[in-house]
Amino acid sequence: MTTPQLEERRIDAMRDSVMAAVDADVARRGRRTRRVLAGTVAACAVAVIGGLGVTALQSPDTRAEHATAADSAARDTAAPSEAGGDTSSFDAPQSSKAAPDADADREVITTGTVNVTVKDPTGSAQKFATWVEGHRGRVDQRTQNSDDGGTSAFLTVRVPSTQVSRAVEQLRGYGKVGSVELQHQDVTTQGRDLDARIKALRISIDRLERILADARSTGQVISAENALTQRQEQLESLVAQRSALTGQVELATLSVDFLQKESTSSVDPGGFRGGLEDGWNALVDVVNGVVELAGVLLPWLGVLLVAVLGWLGLRRFRRT
């Protein structure tokens, strides 16, 4: 079977038809692309115009705040990059330094009791009082007791809070420390509250003094003076409370009880004379006991003798 041959005109006609179809498709796609581009450009223009309109409607203060916030954010973002580019390495030293600062700002009241057994309570109490005064402390109370049971002493001392451990070690050098009890009370919040209230009252007093200076009438002067007097009284009270709290924080309170060590029993020899006296006294005691026993038994012996003699007589009578 032979394949039919196409004429040249037929081939040219087919080529022209294909090319026309390709040109029509290209033109159609070009129009679609232009429409998409036009829509995109229009949307962008609307967004830009709307943003400009919103910016124009904002107040100058608001625009300034936004600008300042943007500048601050830019500086905060750029700072770690300029320092090294790694935010984790930039923040780590700050957090490690902040912890000691927070501990240093804490205010803690320390109180405690210590019992120590010594040979000489009075002397040990005096030595410890001298040591406390030599380390910027003071003695608030001192008590000494002496009776048949022995001697004891009691001290209430105030020592710097940083010297509490050294004070306990000092007591160990005097004798045997039986017990140590320490209590710690955190008053940081209370101290900060007092500081804030004192600052506010001082500001209020300054304002009242200015008002009093500018007063034009007697009523204004009297009102300002009354208010100023009240503020000053409140300030003095708060300052006194703050001073007392600071004193309790700076100086710890220790109550120390000095007890006398029990002495071992010892024999006090009296010598030959003492032994002789003890022996004679014992002999006299025995003789007195025997004599007393004889006096008790003598009446009964008489009765017993009479009973024996009667029994012997009755027995002889029966034999005869």
Do 136 and 211 share a structural domain? yes
Q: Looking at residues 274-285, what average pLDDT do you find?
A: 83
- Best CA proximity match to 128, nearest among 146, 160, 154, 161: 154
Point out the domain boundary residue: 232, 263, 294. Answer: 263
Do 256 and 118 share a structural domain? yes
Residue 24: the pLDDT is 62
Do 240 and 106 share a structural domain? yes
Chain center to CA of 164 = 15
Q: Looking at residues 66-82, what average pLDDT do you find?
A: 40
Least confident of 1-5, 21-25, 63-67, 175-179: 63-67
Tell me how far apart the alpha carbons of residues 156 and 158 are, in angstroms, rounded to a whole number: 7
pLDDT exceeds cutoff 70 at 44? no
**Residue 188 located in a structural domain:** yes
Q: pLDDT class for 320, splitting at 50, 70, 90?
A: confident
**Residue 108 located in a structural domain:** yes
Reported for 34-40, long-range contacts at CB under 8 A and 24+ positions apart, including other chains, are none
SS3 state at 183: strand
Residue 32: the pLDDT is 56
Do 240 and 134 share a structural domain? yes
Residue 89: the pLDDT is 36
Which DSSP string do the residues of 84-140 spell out, in sequence order? TS-HHHHHHHHHHHHHHHHHHT--EEEEEEEEEEES-HHHHHHHHHHHHHHTT-EEE
Tell me how far apart the alpha carbons of residues 188 and 181 are, in angstroms, rounded to a whole number: 22
pLDDT exceeds cutoff 60 at 169? yes
Q: Looking at residues 250-264, what average pLDDT do you find?
A: 87
The better pLDDT of the pair 84, 47 is held by 47
The better pLDDT of the pair 264, 79 is held by 264
Tell me how far apart the alpha carbons of residues 204 and 231 are, in angstroms, rounded to a whole number: 8
Residue 54: the pLDDT is 40
Do 169 and 21 share a structural domain? no
Residue 259: the pLDDT is 92
SS3 state at 154: strand
Do 62 and 18 share a structural domain? yes
**Residue 50, φ and ψ in degrees, nearest 5:** -65, -40
**Residue 85 located in a structural domain:** no
pLDDT exceeds cutoff 50 at 59? no
Point out the domain boundary residue: 21, 49, 79. Answer: 79
**Beta strands 176-186 and 108-118, pairing class:** antiparallel
- Best CA proximity match to 157, nearest among 145, 143, 142: 142
pLDDT exceeds cutoff 80 at 124? yes
Number of domains in the chain: 2
Top mean pLDDT of 19-23, 68-72, 133-137, 289-293 is at 133-137
Residue 74: the pLDDT is 38
pLDDT exceeds cutoff 80 at 98? no
The answer to whether 152 and 259 are in contact (CB under 8 A) is yes
Do 70 and 104 share a structural domain? no
**Residue 94 located in a structural domain:** no
Do 213 and 126 share a structural domain? yes
Point out the domain boundary residue: 263, 281, 304. Answer: 263
Whole-model pTM over 0.75: no
**Rg for the chain (alpha carbons), in Å?**
56
**Residue 102, φ and ψ in degrees, nearest 5:** -65, -40
**Residue 274 located in a structural domain:** no
Tell the burial category of 241 from Cβ atoms under 10 Å away from its Cβ (0-12, 13-18, 19+): middle
Q: Structure tokens of 276?
A: 């002789």
Least confident of 7-11, 90-94, 175-179, 218-222: 90-94
128-156 per-position pLDDT tens digit: 999 999 999 999 999 988 877 688 999 99
Q: Looking at residues 283-290, what average pLDDT do you find?
A: 87
Q: Average pLDDT, whole number, for the chain? A: 76
Do 129 and 20 share a structural domain? no
Q: Looking at residues 21-26, what average pLDDT do you find?
A: 57
**Residue 278 located in a structural domain:** no
Tell me how far apart the alpha carbons of residues 133 and 131 are, in angstroms, rounded to a whole number: 6
Do 133 and 73 share a structural domain? no
Least confident of 57-66, 234-243, 259-268: 57-66
**Residue 182 located in a structural domain:** yes
Do 159 and 38 share a structural domain? no
Q: Looking at residues 291-297, what average pLDDT do you find?
A: 84
**Could you tell me how many residues make up the chain?**
320
Residues spanned by the domain of 35: 9-79
Residue 164: the pLDDT is 94
pLDDT exceeds cutoff 60 at 71? no
The better pLDDT of the pair 171, 3 is held by 171
| Cα three-residue angle 161-166-171, rounded to 5 degrees | 120
**Residue 75 located in a structural domain:** yes
Do 220 and 175 share a structural domain? yes
**Residue 143, φ and ψ in degrees, nearest 5:** -135, 135
Tell me how far apart the alpha carbons of residues 122 and 145 are, in angstroms, rounded to a whole number: 9
